[in-house]
Amino acid sequence: MKMICMGLDISDNDISCSNLDIKKIDESLSGLVNENIIFSKITNITGDDIVVTTIINDDTTLEVVNKNVYDILYEHALGFDDLEGVSTNIDHAGEGISYAQIDLNPKFYPDAIVVAFDTYCGESFVSDVALKATKAVQGMDNVGCVSCSVVDDVKEIPGVGYVSSHTDDPVIVASVENTEDVGVVAGALIGAILGCKNTYLVSKATDCNVIPGSVIFSVSAIMNCNIIDLSQAFTYRYRLL
H runs (alpha helix) in 150-209? 182-194
Q: Which of 203, 205, 201 lies closest to 214, judged by CA?
A: 201
User: Do β-strands 161-164 and 214-223 pair in parallel, antiparallel, or remain unpaired?
Assistant: unpaired
Q: What is the mean pLDDT of residues 137-143?
A: 97
pLDDT score recorded for residue 184: 97
pTM for the whole structure:
0.97
Number of domains making up the chain? 1
Are 37 and 4 spatial neighbours (Cβ–Cβ below 8 Å)? no
The whole-angstrom separation of Cα 11 and Cα 217 is: 17
- For the cut 80, the answer to whether the pLDDT of residue 133 exceeds it is yes
CA angle 124, 81, 54 (to 5 degrees): 90
Q: What is the mean pLDDT of residues 22-48?
A: 98
CA distances from 54 to 156, 163, 194 (A): 17, 20, 27
Q: Collapse the DSSP code of 205 into the 3-class scheme (helix H, G, I; strand E, B; otherwise coil) and give the result.
A: coil
Range of the domain at 216: 2-237
Contacts of 27 (CB under 8 A, 6+ apart): none
The whole-angstrom separation of Cα 136 and Cα 228 is: 21
Q: Which of 10, 14, 95 lies closest to 50, judged by CA?
A: 10
Q: What is the mean pLDDT of residues 174-203?
A: 97
Give per-residue pLDDT as tens, 90-120.
999 999 999 999 999 999 999 999 999 999 9
Q: What's the one-letter identity of residue 207?
A: D
